[in-house]
């Protein structure tokens, strides 16, 4: 072999060995990286599993048992953990009937401004005439509210059995328990076979070039909904009783009688068809 060929062979062989060494090192480093990444993922999974376990943890404890017409009555406190706070509610079950959840979804936020709302739905008012409707926003911690039994979960027969219990058996129970839900203490004033949302009045329209929904909740509160949030307006905070009166004020918003009349519900009716609107204009 000539000298020049030997030099080329040595260079080629050296480069080949170098490449092979580097290749192996890259493979080893890559495997090390993958191993470390997998360890990190395992730790992350453990942390997330622990966190989700804490968040999704629900505890129940029985606060009352008794008998009503031969059937077991069971009331429980429920505590459900979430990421930022705990959620409290109660359940009530009569015999083998579906369990009744007492939550901020199955109850409203105060006494209804009129029982006429429930004219077409089976309903029962526990203390008729004794729990007043308030014309101002109620900030008290103890809330008198209507409890709703959705037809999707409760048949009419099941509703009637629960209504019978609240009519004839609830007095013997209510003074021995507290329906404490953290931010409020609930007193059940009546039952309705339906959902709270079914009895809201919602009017859609435009105000100052914006698409807005005006909502009248069953507890009489009036809300101006824009872009997914609630804003203040120049309507009275609540329906005024007696008379189903809504006040339209000159200051505090851009609504006028002409604009308000153009807000319609799904039946094509305006607020003027359900309420007496008194204006300052």
Are residue 22 and residue 50 in the same domain, yes or no? yes
pLDDT band, very low/low/confident/very high, at 138 (cuts 50, 70, 90)? confident
pLDDT digits (tens, 9 = 90+) for 2-49: 545 444 444 444 455 544 545 555 555 655 655 566 656 555 555 544
Is there a contact between 76 and 100 (Cβ–Cβ < 8 Å)? no
Residues 6 or more apart whose Cβ sits within 8 Å of residue 200? 215, 216, 217, 218
Full domain range(s) for residue 125 = 58-197
pLDDT confidence of residue 128: 66
Domain final residue, candidates 38, 55, 72: 55
Angle at 93 between CA 90 and CA 96, to 5 degrees: 155
Angle at the Cα of 47 (from 43 to 52), degrees rounded to 5?
145
DSSP assigned state of 196:
G
Structural domain count, the chain = 3
φ and ψ at residue 214, rounded to 5 degrees: -100, 120
What percent of the chain stands above pLDDT 70?
79
Do both 73 and 185 map to the same domain? yes
Query: Which residues 6+ apart lie within 8 Å of 107 measured at CB?
Result: 145, 146, 147, 148, 186, 188, 196
159-213: per-residue pLDDT in tens?
999 999 999 999 999 999 999 999 999 999 999 999 999 999 999 999 989 999 9
Task: DSSP letter for 85, please.
Answer: S
**Residue 211 near residue 259, CB atoms below 8 Å:** no
pLDDT at 95: 97
Angstrom CA distances, 69 to 22, 157, 164, 223, stand at 84, 16, 10, 43
Find the distance separating the first CA and the last CA of the chain, reported in whole Å. Answer: 112
Per the structure block, which two tokens stand in for 183? 């931010």
What DSSP assignment string belongs to 256-275?
-HHHHHT-B-TTS--GGGTS
* Residue 277 in this model has a pLDDT that exceeds 90: yes
Shared domain check, 153 and 82: yes
74 & 193 share domain: yes
pLDDT at 185: 94
Rounded CA-CA distance 22/161 in Å is: 80
Tell me the two tokens of residue 200. Answer: 């809201």
pLDDT at residue 218 above 50? yes
Answer yes or no: do 118 and 15 share one domain.
no
Residues 258 and 167 in one domain: no
189 with 273, same domain: the answer is no
Q: How many other β-carbons are positioned within 10 Å of the β-carbon of residue 114? A: 16
Distances (CA, A) of 260 to 84, 166, 199, 201, 248: 39, 41, 20, 14, 9
Domain boundary among 136, 162, 197: 197
Bridge partners of residue 203, in order along the sequence: 214
Co-location of 166 and 87 in the same domain: yes
Same domain, 92 and 223: no
Say if residue 150 is in the same domain as residue 263. no
Angle in degrees, CA 233, 235, 238, rounded to 5: 115
The answer on 261 and 225 residing in a single domain is: yes
Average pLDDT, the chain: 86
Quick one: 192 and 221 in the same domain?
no
Name the domain boundary from 9, 31, 55.
55
Kindly state the average pLDDT of the residues 215-229.
95
Give the pLDDT band of residue 150 (cuts 50, 70, 90).
Answer: very high
């Amino acid at each position: 072999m000539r000298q020049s060929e030997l030099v080329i062979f040595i260079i080629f062989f050296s480069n080949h060995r170098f490449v092979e060494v580097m290749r192996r090192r890259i493979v080893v480093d890559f495997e090390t990286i993958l191993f470390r990444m997998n360890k990190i993922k395992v730790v992350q999974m453990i942390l997330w599993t622990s966190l989700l376990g804490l968040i999704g943890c629900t505890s129940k404890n029985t606060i009352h048992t008794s008998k009503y017409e031969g059937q077991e009555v069971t009331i429980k406190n429920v505590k459900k953990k979430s990421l930022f706070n705990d959620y409290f509610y109660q359940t009530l079950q009569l015999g083998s009937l579906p369990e009744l959840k007492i939550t901020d979804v199955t109850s409203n936020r105060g006494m209804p401004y009129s029982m006429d709302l429930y004219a077409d739905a089976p309903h029962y008012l526990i203390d008729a005439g004794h729990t007043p409707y308030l014309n101002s926003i109620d900030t008290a911690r103890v809330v008198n509210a209507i409890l709703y039994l959705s037809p999707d979960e409760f048949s009419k027969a099941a509703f009637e059995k629960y209504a019978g219990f609240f009519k004839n058996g609830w007095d013997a129970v209510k003074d021995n328990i507290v329906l404490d839900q953290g931010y409020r203490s609930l007193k059940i004033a009546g039952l309705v076979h339906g959902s709270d949302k079914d009895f809201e009045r919602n009017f859609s329209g435009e105000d100052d070039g914006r698409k807005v929904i005006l909502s009248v909740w069953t507890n009489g509160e009036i809300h101006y909904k824009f872009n997914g949030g609630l804003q203040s307006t120049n309507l009275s905070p609540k329906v005024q009783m007696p008379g189903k009166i809504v006040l339209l004020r000159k200051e505090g918003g851009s609504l006028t009688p002409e604009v308000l009349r153009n807000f319609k519900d799904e039946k094509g009716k305006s607020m003027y068809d359900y309420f007496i609107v008194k204006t300052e204009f």
